[in-house]
């Protein structure tokens, strides 16, 4: 176990986090640094062992600014360009725990501590069938092992040393990398088959993260017997404040104390109260109070504080976990703490809380008494604004990374086939989609509880039509019903996506097909309900740094159905139109925040054989040439729609209602024929318009006269 001296068995080609053109036998120090940078590792020049005892550090006059943001291309070229300062310097290292990928290192000092070997062996036997973890691993010059992982969402790796020889290089930490030379005269080297250019960096499994949390708690996370190997020291026991008086160190300790104080205060005020009645409000209020006292260590102008805290693992997700854990002790330790009488000479302070926590709080309200004075919104001056990152395209000129958007259209227009094709292009690693460059490919999670039986045929048709993709592409389908209005369902969705991410990497796209299917019981026209839906999408988007795409339906006026909250929240919106029975349709960019909108793209839906013995066919959406005729809009202008509804209302008032049924033709009340003749519209478009209006409660089909028993269309609302 942990010998790692044999190459991994052959398997399906790896999809992410690896390179095929790096040759370590002929690589220069600059090539090594460029390889690490290509893999999103924060590679910086490192000191040589001749620099002194504490040499395992960055060879830079200052390094703290590189613990939060990726170094610029200009600075990297200054270091490792053709005439760079460190182009031929062999020692290089990585700053850990930073950036989107949040790489961290598990350092096992096997040659000096039996405890390290016993600790990791016990974990692997219990959780991984005694097998090594498939992630890049290096042998240090001193004989130990260093294993590289990615931090999962919601967990932040610490930086600390323990006396058993297990060290963690997390946020602000540092680790030497090959081909650096050790003071022993032996260079650092990746184990055969476990090189980062041959395999992706694994997202640390939950059991390993839990084991590290326990390890740090048991051994105190102290510096051990050796010197610190990273720029960041152990988390101090006392709080550190920034220039605005906000806590930036010791935040988890503060969170623990505040959660406990809140829960004990709840028990003091209502010891027999049903905690489920106001629990959600209690948790939200407590978190708002906590967030008002702390700040993120990440400097990223324009990004809200709650998102930065979440990226550090010191935000809403961790707070909920701590609150639920405290509640699990409601009948035991919480009641014991709530029963303790507060000393008269120290009002508001309880000296007997479990775990030795001494938290000043008001027993009546649960408020922390040593709260910092006020909070302030971050202000950006012109240099800060100019330093904000430019939008990064997922698909050139169409979809921005980490955004929220919608594709909408009437039933049968082809929107799901278009969305599926876009998703498969990203998962298959294609260079473009419909002629637009794809800047980032990767895993896709597709949520769809309808048409599942046909999904395999749709995928096969896409494969036939595009000539791309394979069964190993990281495309994952969630086919169960999900309620985006239910917080529990959204939490379960986040756990599911995290499980997918741990297997194939964080998704670049999460698709919700369709929006209406994840909103059971919700009123799409209500701002309140659609705000809840958007917040649920934002939780997914923020947790994984992904784009969320909703597939939605057309409203009665031809625009996207539902409250304008959806249109306001969308960073991109595409409308799909295609006449029934026609192959050719058009996709219109109704809204693109970061680029020019209004452009149109013709497409064709064609039937293709899926390749099975039954001769099954399915549709495939592809772009058409510029010469293809662009279909007219399915909807007339708004004034024409109003005029048609006025005519329908007048016919109802006269007792001669227009009817959508063919039998009404003999009486002159056939609505389709009347509208076609009076406004010059095509029959199939009129039929679509009337059926859409009926589905959206603009029109109803009722009896207009009990004597003549005439049935027809009645206008319920004007648009």
Both 400 and 530 in one domain: the answer is: yes
Residue 23 lies in a domain: no
User: Quick one: average pLDDT of 583-588?
Assistant: 92
Domain holding 440: CATH number? Answer: 3.40.50.300
Reported in sequence order, the residue ranges of 161-319 that DSSP labels E, i.e. its strands, are 166-169, 174-177, 189-190, 202-203, 240-241, 247-249
pTM for the predicted model, two decimal places: 0.46
Among residues 593, 623, 653, which one ends one of the domains? Answer: 623
Residue 382 lies in a domain: no
Residue 702 lies in a domain: yes
Residue 359: per-residue pLDDT: 40
Both 321 and 426 in one domain: the answer is: no
User: Quick one: average pLDDT of 246-270?
Assistant: 81
pLDDT band at 276 (very low <50, low <70, confident <90, very high): low
Q: Which residue has the tokens 């202000």?
A: 379
Residue 582: per-residue pLDDT: 83
Residue 327: per-residue pLDDT: 84
As a three-state string, the secondary structure of 509-558 is EEEEECCHHHCCCCCCCCHHHHHHHHHHHHHHHHHHCCEEEEEEEECCCC
Both 149 and 100 in one domain: the answer is: yes
Q: Is residue 202 over pLDDT 60?
A: yes
Q: Is residue 228 over pLDDT 60?
A: no
> pLDDT (tens digit, 9 = 90+) per residue, 13-62?
333 345 557 888 888 999 999 999 888 898 999 988 777 656 788 888 76
Residue 7 lies in a domain: no
Both 84 and 200 in one domain: the answer is: yes
Peptide bond into 473 cis (omega under 30): no
Cα separation values, 681 from 143, 283, 578, 696, Å:
80, 57, 16, 21
pLDDT band at 6 (very low <50, low <70, confident <90, very high): very low
Residue 229: per-residue pLDDT: 32
Q: Cα–Cα distance between 104 and 99 in angstroms, integer? A: 11
Three-class SS state of 284: helix
Residue 233 lies in a domain: no
Both 647 and 619 in one domain: the answer is: no
As a three-state string, the secondary structure of 388-429 is CCCCCEEECCCEECCCEEEEEECCCCCHHHHHHHHHHHHHCC
pLDDT band at 241 (very low <50, low <70, confident <90, very high): low
Which tokens sit at 484? 């985006």
Least confident range of 244-258, 263-277, 433-447, 557-571: 263-277
Percent of the chain with pLDDT over 70: 82
DSSP-derived secondary structure letter, 235: P
User: Quick one: average pLDDT of 542-549?
Assistant: 91
Both 584 and 655 in one domain: the answer is: no
Residue 441: per-residue pLDDT: 93
Which tokens sit at 668? 């002159």
Q: Cα–Cα distance between 264 and 270 in angstroms, integer? A: 10
> pLDDT (tens digit, 9 = 90+) per residue, 380-439?
788 777 777 778 899 999 999 999 999 999 988 999 999 999 999 999 999 999 999 999
Q: Cα–Cα distance between 386 and 368 in angstroms, integer? A: 39
User: Quick one: average pLDDT of 256-279?
Assistant: 74
> pLDDT (tens digit, 9 = 90+) per residue, 292-316?
888 887 766 567 778 888 877 888 8
Cα separation values, 430 from 401, 427, 433, 467, 626, Å:
16, 8, 7, 11, 22
What is the separation, in whole angstroms, between the first and last Cα of the chain? 70
Residue 401: per-residue pLDDT: 93
Can you say how many angstroms the Cα of residue 335 is from the centroid of all Cα atoms in its chain?
39
Residue 664 lies in a domain: yes
Counting the structural domains of the chain, the total is: 4
Among residues 591, 623, 655, which one ends one of the domains? Answer: 623
Both 618 and 644 in one domain: the answer is: no
Can you say how many angstroms the Cα of residue 254 is from the centroid of all Cα atoms in its chain?
27
User: Quick one: average pLDDT of 195-209?
Assistant: 90
User: Quick one: average pLDDT of 487-504?
Assistant: 88
Q: Is residue 698 over pLDDT 80?
A: yes
Residue 379 lies in a domain: no
Contact of 135 with 2, CB cutoff 8 Å: no
User: Quick one: average pLDDT of 363-370?
Assistant: 39
Residue 529 has φ and ψ, to the nearest 5°, of -65, -40
Q: Which residue has the tokens 């016993």?
A: 118
Residue 513: per-residue pLDDT: 93
User: Quick one: average pLDDT of 92-96?
Assistant: 91
DSSP-derived secondary structure letter, 70: P
Both 142 and 41 in one domain: the answer is: yes
Q: Is residue 351 over pLDDT 80?
A: no
Residue 2 lies in a domain: no
DSSP-derived secondary structure letter, 478: E
Instruction: Report the mean per-residue pLDDT for the chain.
Output: 80
Among residues 163, 186, 219, which one ends one of the domains? Answer: 219
Reported in sequence order, the residue ranges of 392-501 that DSSP labels E, i.e. its strands, are 393-395, 399-400, 404-409, 432-433, 436-437, 444-447, 475-478
> pLDDT (tens digit, 9 = 90+) per residue, 65-81?
677 678 888 889 999 98
Q: Is residue 667 over pLDDT 60?
A: yes
Least confident range of 64-68, 204-208, 272-276, 327-331: 272-276
Q: Cα–Cα distance between 590 and 406 in angstroms, integer? A: 10
Judge residue 163's burial from the number of C-beta atoms within 10 Å of its C-beta, 0-12 exposed, 13-18 middle, 19 or more buried: middle
Partners of 604 in the β-ladder: 584, 622
Both 122 and 194 in one domain: the answer is: yes
Q: Between these two residues, 129 and 523, which has the higher pLDDT value? A: 523
Both 248 and 157 in one domain: the answer is: no
Q: Is residue 223 over pLDDT 50?
A: no
Both 70 and 100 in one domain: the answer is: yes
Q: Is residue 221 over pLDDT 80?
A: no
Do strands 202-203 and 137-139 pair parallel, antiparallel, or not at all (unpaired)?
unpaired
Question: Nearest 5 degrees, angle CA 259-CA 263-CA 268?
Answer: 145
Residue 20: per-residue pLDDT: 54
Residue 279: per-residue pLDDT: 74
Both 443 and 582 in one domain: the answer is: yes
Q: Is residue 506 over pLDDT 50?
A: yes
Q: Domain limits at 574? A: 393-623
Nearest to 90, CA basis, from 177, 197, 153, 3: 177
Q: Between these two residues, 367 and 202, which has the higher pLDDT value? A: 202
User: Quick one: average pLDDT of 639-666?
Assistant: 88
Q: Between these two residues, 199 and 511, which has the higher pLDDT value? A: 511
User: Quick one: average pLDDT of 511-518?
Assistant: 94
């Amino acid at each position: 176990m942990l010998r790692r001296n044999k190459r991994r068995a052959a398997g399906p080609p790896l999809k992410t986090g690896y390179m095929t053109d790096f040759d370590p036998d002929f690589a220069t120090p600059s090539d090594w640094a460029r390889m690490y940078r290509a893999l999103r590792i924060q590679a910086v020049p490192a000191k040589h062992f001749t620099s002194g005892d504490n040499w395992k550090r960055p060879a830079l006059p200052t390094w703290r600014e590189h613990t939060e943001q990726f170094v610029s291309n200009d600075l990297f070229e200054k270091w490792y360009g053709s005439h760079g300062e460190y182009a031929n310097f062999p020692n290089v290292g990585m700053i850990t725990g930073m950036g989107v990928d949040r790489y961290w290192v598990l350092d096992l000092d096997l040659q000096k501590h039996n405890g390290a070997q016993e600790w990791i062996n016990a974990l692997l036997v219990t959780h991984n069938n005694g097998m090594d973890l498939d992630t890049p691993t290096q042998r240090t010059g001193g004989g130990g092992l260093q294993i590289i992982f990615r931090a999962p969402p919601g967990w932040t790796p610490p930086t600390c040393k323990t006396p058993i020889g297990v060290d963690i290089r997390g946020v602000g930490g540092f680790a030497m990398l090959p081909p650096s030379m050790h003071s022993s005269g032996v260079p650092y080297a990746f184990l055969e088959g476990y090189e980062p250019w041959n395999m992706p960096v694994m997202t640390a499994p939950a059991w390993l993260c839990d084991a590290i949390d326990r390890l740090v708690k048991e051994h105190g996370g102290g510096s051990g017997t050796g010197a610190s190997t990273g720029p960041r020291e152990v988390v101090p026991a006392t709080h550190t404040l920034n220039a605005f008086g906000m806590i930036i160190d010791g935040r988890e300790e503060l969170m623990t104390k505040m959660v406990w104080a809140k829960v004990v205060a709840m028990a003091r005020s209502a010891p027999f109260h049903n905690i489920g009645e106001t629990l959600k409000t209690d948790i939200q209020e407590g978190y708002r109070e906590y967030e008002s006292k702390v700040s993120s260590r990440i400097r990223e102008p324009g990004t809200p504080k709650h998102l930065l805290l979440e990226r550090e693992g010191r935000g809403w997700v961790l707070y909920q976990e701590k609150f639920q854990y405290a509640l699990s002790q409601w009948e035991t330790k919480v009641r014991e703490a709530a029963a303790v009488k507060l000393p008269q000479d120290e009002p508001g302070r309880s000296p007997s809380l479990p775990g030795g926590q001494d938290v000043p709080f008001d027993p009546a309200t649960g408020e922390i008494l040593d709260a910092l004075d006020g909070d302030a919104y971050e202000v950006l001056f012109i240099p800060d604004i100019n330093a904000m990152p430019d939008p990064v395209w997922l698909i050139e000129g169409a979809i921005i990374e980490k955004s929220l958007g919608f594709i909408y259209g009437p039933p049968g227009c082809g929107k799901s086939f278009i969305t599926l094709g876009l998703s498969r292009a990203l998962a298959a690693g294609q260079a473009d989609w419909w002629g637009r460059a794809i800047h980032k490919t990767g895993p896709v999670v597709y949520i769809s509880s309808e048409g599942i039986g046909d999904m395999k045929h749709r995928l096969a048709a896409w494969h036939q039509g595009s000539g791309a993709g394979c069964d190993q592409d990281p495309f994952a389908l969630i086919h169960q019903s999900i309620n985006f209005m239910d917080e529990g369902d959204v939490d379960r969705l986040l756990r599911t996506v995290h499980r997918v991410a741990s297997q194939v990497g964080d998704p670049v796209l999460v698709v919700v097909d369709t929006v209406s299917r994840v909103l059971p019981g919700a009123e799409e026209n209500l701002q309140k309900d659609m705000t809840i839906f958007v917040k649920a999408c934002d939780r997914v988007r923020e947790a994984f740094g992904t784009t969320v795409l909703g597939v939605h339906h057309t409203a009665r006026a031809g625009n996207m159905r539902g409250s304008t909250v959806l249109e306001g929240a969308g960073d991109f919106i595409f409308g799909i139109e295609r006449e029934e029975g026609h192959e050719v349709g058009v996709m219109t960019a109704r809204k693109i925040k970061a680029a020019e909108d209004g452009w149109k793209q013709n497409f064709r839906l064609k039937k293709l054989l899926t390749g099975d013995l039954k001769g099954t066919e399915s549709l495939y959406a592809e772009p058409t040439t510029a010469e293809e005729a662009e279909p007219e809009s399915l909807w007339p202008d708004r004034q024409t729609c109003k005029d048609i509804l006025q005519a329908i209302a007048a016919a109802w008032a006269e007792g001669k209602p227009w009817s959508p049924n063919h039998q009404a033709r003999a009486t002159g009340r056939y609505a389709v024929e009347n509208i076609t003749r009076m406004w010059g519209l095509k029959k199939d478009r009129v039929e679509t318009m009337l059926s859409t209006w009926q589905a959206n409660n603009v029109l109803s089909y009722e009896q207009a006269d009990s004597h003549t028993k005439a049935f027809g269309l009645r206008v319920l609302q004007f648009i």
